[in-house]
Amino acid sequence: MKKKKALITGYRGQDGAYLSRFLLGKGYEVYGADRAGDSGQWRLRELGIERKVKEIALDLLEPTNIIDALEKIKPDEIYNFAAQSFVLVSFSQPVLTAEVNAVGVARLLEALRKAAPKARFFQASTAELFGSTGSAQKNETTDFYPKSPYAVSKLYAHWLTVNYRQAQHMYACNGILFNHESPLRGEEFVTRKIAASAARISKGLQQKVAVGNLDALRDWGYAKEYVEGMWLMLQQPRPDDYILATGETHSVREWIEASFAAAGIKLEWKGKGLAEKGRDARTGKVRVEVSKDFYRPADVKELVGDAAKARKVLGWAPRTRFRDLPALMVQAELARLEGKKVNL
């Protein structure tokens, strides 16, 4: 049988790297496009797939090279992870964020319609779309109320994907992904930042870490499992949109406590707001402090998703939950510091 071909944009990011490994394991020929130069190469190296993905020049800002790439590869599946993916950065770079995350998807879908209309398309949509729609569990019918330039840009991409499915009859799906983390996360995200800091602090390599809003509540799952759900979305008889989430929500403060505990440090909290501090309960040393540098002009208070549709239709369910995830990430950081192989 002919090998299936997949094209992954943003393949050196967390999800792109995990999905590359997953698809290679399924016998796909995997093509990757990434603007980030070599800065994400470490992920492919750690996953042991460094020379297995075929790199292709494709930039979401440039329509012609998207069409060229599609005509050359003729992919069966396209997964779009290329994005300006940091919520905080989007407040200072709203136009760039829109160019890549919103109009970039228009360029990609339009190129697909022309050059590969039968290809199946996955858009990395996001729980950030729900923004301030309250604390109830979100499902595929919940309204959106984006609260950052990032979320607004992703809202355009989300609806455009739906529109190409309906109006152009293309196989296009949105995965509405709640926060999904792993040892391959960038250190800009709070989970990995904390896991890496807790590990370094436990080894005496760092004194403390500064963070922002401790009260934000998030639904954190394991990215390695989420890429399986994305692939399943493209294997169905009909295209549709699906939420991937764990259904549990925990605060940033809880994530910090669990991560430090996994590194052997029990934390005690004192103070309020910017004056709040987390101290090592044994030594009294300040290990966590709050800085306004990490606060957002508007933050999403609480996110929790209901993945019942994905469970029912795709047979997908998260296996790793909050109970295990901070420890898994701290173990990986300790292994890195000790020069050992990281479990990914």
Give residues in contact with ligand GDP (CB under 6 A): 87, 179, 188-191, 193, 211-213, 216, 218, 252, 294, 296, 299
Please identify, using beta-carbon distances, which residue of 55 and 188 lies nearer to ligand GDP: 188
Task: Look up 156 and say whether it is catalytic.
Answer: no
Alpha-carbon distance of 171 to 10, in angstroms, equals: 20
Q: How far is the CB of 191 from ligand GDP (least distance, A)?
A: 6
Please identify, using beta-carbon distances, which residue of 88 and 342 lies nearer to ligand GDP: 88
- Shortest-Cβ-distance residue relative to ligand GDP: 216
Pairing label, strands 286-290, 209-211: parallel
Q: How far is the CB of 147 from ligand GDP (least distance, A)?
A: 10
Alpha-carbon distance of 43 to 311, in angstroms, equals: 29
Burial bucket for residue 181 (CB in 10 Å: 0-12, 13-18, 19+): buried
Alpha-carbon distance of 90 to 146, in angstroms, equals: 13
From 9, 28, 97, 128, the catalytic residue: 128
Q: How far is the CB of 194 from ligand GDP (least distance, A)?
A: 8
Assigned token pair, 293: 């540098």
Burial bucket for residue 176 (CB in 10 Å: 0-12, 13-18, 19+): buried
Please, are residues 58 and 66 in contact by the beta-carbon 8 Å criterion?
yes
Q: How far is the CB of 225 from ligand GDP (least distance, A)?
A: 18
Q: DSSP letters along 194-230, please?
A: HHHHHHHHHTTS---EEES-TT-EE--EEHHHHHHHH
Please identify, using beta-carbon distances, which residue of 87 and 223 lies nearer to ligand GDP: 87
Please identify, using beta-carbon distances, which residue of 85 and 202 lies nearer to ligand GDP: 85
From 18, 28, 29, 126, the catalytic residue: 126
Nearest Cα neighbor of 310 from 246, 224, 219, 237 is 246
Q: How far is the CB of 193 from ligand GDP (least distance, A)?
A: 6
Query: How many other β-carbons are positioned within 10 Å of the β-carbon of residue 37?
Result: 8
Please identify, using beta-carbon distances, which residue of 21 and 218 lies nearer to ligand GDP: 218
Task: Look up 28 and say whether it is catalytic.
Answer: no
Task: Look up 126 and say whether it is catalytic.
Answer: yes
* Helices and strands (DSSP H and E) totals, the chain: 12, 15
Residues annotated as catalytic are 126, 128, 150
